[in-house]
Amino acid sequence: MPSTLQEIPTLFAKYKVAKNILDRISIWNGDITRLQIDAIVNAANSRLAGGGGVDAAIHRAAGKTELQRECRQYDGCAVGEAVITSACKIEHVKNIIHTVGPQVYSSLKSSDREKLVNCYRNSLELAKENGLKSLAFCCISTGVYGYPNDDAAESVGDFLTKYLAENENIERIVLVTFLFIDYELYHEYFANFAENF
Ligand code: ADP
């Protein structure tokens, strides 16, 4: 729809806000342990015991014995919460943030969505407390824990765009995908965000 000249300053201000958010988000398909970044966020289990999937890849890269020793300082981690350790042997990363996503058994509940968003919020708050400015998130819960990929991309996208608008301390968030479906869903989400902001 054509805009009047009077609308241009408002449109320009909106554009600047959207650009500031989008400039700080990347989508990258690959192994999260290969990124050079302040912190990587692990999809851990509540015992912080090391499991399969991305958790196994992170424990392998960090050194299983070393990372498990650090995880034992905590009495596990509740769903939606997050804890922090060093990155042990991963030299190009400062810290690992471990968060526990919800497990979705049959149909998705709104409480599952809240828990998933809490994983992202609490990881970002831990990053802030520890002066970490760049974070890479794997697609928490969308593997073995069964959270639907499309709802995760939308809920995470909605949350992160709002969070970045309100928190200038975070300089970069990398959304790390491993499966092409997640890569596509994130691209779709952010293309739509840019168009409709
Ligand atoms: P959850 O139990 O929380 O579902 P999973 O490890 O099963 O955790 O899967 C979470 C996401 O991490 C999935 O999208 C999976 O494809 C992805 N993934 C698995 N290995 C890696 C890796 N090395 N780097 C990044 N993402 C990974």
Interface confidence: ipTM more than 0.90: yes
Pocket test for ligand 1, best of 54, 120, 156 (most atoms within 8 A of CB): 54
Ligand 1 pocket, CB under 6 A = 31-32, 43, 53-55, 57, 101, 138-145, 176, 178-179, 182
Residue of 132, 106, 128, 131 whose CA lies nearest to 40: 132
Q: Which atom of ligand 1 is nearest to the CA of 146?
A: 4
Per-residue pLDDT of the chain (197 residues; tens, 9 = 90+): 557 888 888 888 888 889 999 999 999 999 999 999 999 999 999 999 999 999 999 999 999 999 999 999 999 999 999 999 999 999 999 999 999 999 998 899 999 999 999 999 999 999 999 999 999 999 999 999 999 999 999 999 999 999 999 999 999 999 999 999 999 999 999 999 999 88
**pTM for this predicted structure:** 0.96
The per-residue pLDDT for range 81-109, each reduced to its tens digit, is 999 999 999 999 999 999 999 999 889 99
Between the CA of 44 and the centroid of ligand 1 the distance, in Å, is 10
Between the CA of 169 and the centroid of ligand 1 the distance, in Å, is 27
Q: Can you give the pLDDT at residue 158?
A: 98
Between the CA of 4 and the centroid of ligand 1 the distance, in Å, is 48
The per-residue pLDDT for range 52-71, each reduced to its tens digit, is 999 999 999 999 999 999 99
